[in-house]
Amino acid sequence: MSNLIRPALVLTVAMTLLTGLVYPLAMTGLTQMVFPAQAAGSLVAQDGKVIGSSLIAQGFKEPGYFHPRPSLAGEGYDGALSGASNLGVTSKALIEAVGARVDAAGVVGTVPVDLVTASGSGLDPHVSPMAALVQVPRIAQARNLPEETVRALVQSHTEERILGFIGEPRVNVLMLNLALDDRKP
């Protein structure tokens, strides 16, 4: 038994140095040279100030902006406290929450399901193209823009499936809203 103790301890130290320090620190150094923007969290800056990350949803509430999916990350859209409802499909709380969101959405006709269900992370930066399009009338009215213009902007910000089949079509809400501000602040 005693001659099994030394390898156990030495291996623990050696592997800690190799996989716990050398590997992650080397990867940090390397990726900061090769992919600096991504390694730093895909931050978006405006006038030198960080206004968010293109990968993390923000809680847009004003009628003149596209709204993201509902969030249960912290108090909502907390970038340091990701979270979901984790409610089962037969949960009363879930059905009531979805009902309340449908009422609040103020959409004519049916609401796309992603717009009234909470995402897995609470930080989902995307909505489906349909969920963006149903918001167009509200934004056009608030900004006094023709609906056609807003709709065209949604279409130009729609990311299609990669190679036509990988992933789902989607619209990045923060980037779309920034484009909207660029067009008519």
Partner 1 sequence: MSPTDLLQILLFLALILAIAPFLGAYMARVFEGRVGFLAPAERAIYAACGTDASEEQSWSRYLGAVLLFNLAGFALLFGILLTQHWLPWNPAGMAPLDWDLAFNTAVSFVTNTNWQAYGGESTLSYFSQMVGLTVQNFVSAATGIAVAVAITRGIARRQARTLGNFTVDLTRGVLYILLPLSILVALALVWQGVPQNLAAYVDATTVEGAQQMLAQGPAASQIAIKQLGTNGGGFFSVNSAHPYENPTPISNLIQMVAILAIPAGLALTYGHMVGDKRQGWAIFAAMGVLFLAGFAVTYWAEMQGNPLLASLPVDQAAGNMEGKETRFGVVNSVLWAVSTTAASNGSVNAMHDSFTPLGGLVLLLNIQLGEIIYGGVGAGLYGMLLFVVLAVFIAGLMVGRTPEYLGKKIESREVKLAVLGMLSMPVGILGFGALAAVLPVALASVQDAGPHGLSEILYAYSSATGNNGSAFAGFGADTPYHNVMLGLAMILGRYAFIAAMLAVAGSLAAKKITPPSAGSFPTHGPLFVGLLIGTILIVGGLTFFPVLALGPIAEHLAMLAGTKF
| Binding positions for partner 1, 13-52, rule CB under 8 A | 14-16, 18-21, 23-24, 27-28, 30-32, 34-35, 38-43, 49-52
Asked if 58 interacts with partner 1 (CB under 8 A), we say: yes
Binding region for partner 1 (CB under 8 A) out of 2-10, 141-149, 150-158: 2-10
Q: How far is the CB of 150 from partner 1 (least distance, A)?
A: 17
Work out which of 63, 181, 183, 184 binds partner 1, going by CB under 8 A.
181
Q: Does 125 bind partner 1 (CB under 8 A)?
A: yes
Taking the complex as a whole, how short is the minimal distance between the CB of residue 36 and partner 1, in angstroms? 10
In 3-state terms, what secondary structure has residue 126? strand
What is the full DSSP assignment across 61-109? -STTS-------STTTT-TTS-------TT-HHHHHHHHHHHHHHT-SS
Cβ 12 to partner 1, closest distance in Å? 4
What are the tokens at 3?
A: 């001659």
- Beta-carbon contacts of 43 under 8 Å, excluding residues fewer than 6 positions away, are 37, 50, 52, 53
Give the number of other CB atoms < 10 A from CB of residue 98: 17
Grouping H, G, I as helix, E, B as strand and the rest as coil, residue 135 is coil
**Contacts of partner 1 in 67-106 (CB under 8 A):** 69, 77-92, 94-95, 98-99, 102
